[in-house]
Structure 1
């Protein structure tokens, strides 16, 4: 299997500050993107802490832990790190980030996802979305409470329902 990886972030057209961070560690098999929650204090810090904490946690994992458990533990560690940092620095209280991470284990890939930073699989010329957005509108749409047309124009479509660190 041939694997190509790269990472790039862009501030986009809405915000003045880039709140994105990533970690690509091919030796570890870790590919991660974190997008700090815009409009919240410390989004850039939260996304950086998520990337750093997940990588550090996976680098120090015990050999007996499954990749799935290691990835879950790493996201939990990032959640605690960000939450505690926000508690210790009052102006950062409530900071959070999305986080989507893939951990390669031989020919298998394990995925962890919180928020609305999507993971896709590109295979045989086809793009398939692997994750479901954790947003209020996406959850309402999946539950059948609103239509796709209503979701597309909803002012609530960017409201995240799950994140790393925000407490």
Structure 2
């Protein structure tokens, strides 16, 4: 009788954990699948004028006085993409927007060894800083950047973020 009671408690406990995991998965999937505006619409874009052969004739400044054109990832050389990832964020495809090792390394060099400031930001964190205009030179600013990077990873695919 006692063994049956222990087995029943064990089954109920695992059912609760399974339901919690399924609920968490449903929430995460809902965040990704819920319609939202593409990232390219978040920042102003330059206007490009091309001739009939596809040659660029004129590129205007965007409203924020920057030259910015969105280019689909499929139109960019894979070697260029690999080079950028190797230089900026070699673990891009495997982290959830934040690389704890990079952040710890940056904090160690900047605050402990008093070297030249190192941020340790991933590509997703750099995009978060750009989109939300974050000041990431302070620990609180870096925490905001981390939260926004995780938000980006939750709502957008790696491909969208890299574009």
Higher strand fraction (1 or 2): 1
Q: What TM-score does the superposition give when structure 2 sets the normalisation length?
A: 0.25
**Greater share of residues in helix:** 2
Report the TM-score, using the length of structure 1 for normalisation. Answer: 0.25
Larger radius of gyration: 2
